[in-house]
Amino acid sequence: MNATIEKVAPIAKAVIAAVVAFLTAISTALGDNSISGQEWVTALIALVIGFGAVFSIPNKPPFVPEQEEPEVTPTPMSTSNG
């Protein structure tokens, strides 16, 4: 099961973006309760461009700035006899 997830993971965000773009175009086209041929073509173009645009961007881990450790200055130990 994990092997399948690892194979799909690199393209999962591209597939989701493509589906969202397609459904957005379809929902806009349904404004008049019908979808013309031109609207189907527009929806398919949105699907392809949504997939291609997101798939072309490489997956990178999020940027986490390195935290600098505070400098530790040794303090002289005082001895008191008293």
Query: pTM, whole model, 2 decimals?
Result: 0.64
Tell me the H-state helices in the chain.
2-29, 37-55
Would residue 22 be called left, alpha or beta, if left means φ above 0 and alpha means ψ between -120 and 50 degrees?
A: alpha
Q: How far apart are CA 35 and CA 40, in angstroms?
A: 7
Burial 40-53 (b: 16+ CB within 10 A, else e): eebbeebbeebbee
For the record, the structure tokens of 20 come out as 């969202």
Predicted confidence (pLDDT) per residue in 32-53, tens digit = 999 999 999 999 999 999 999 9
Residue 21 pLDDT more than 80? yes
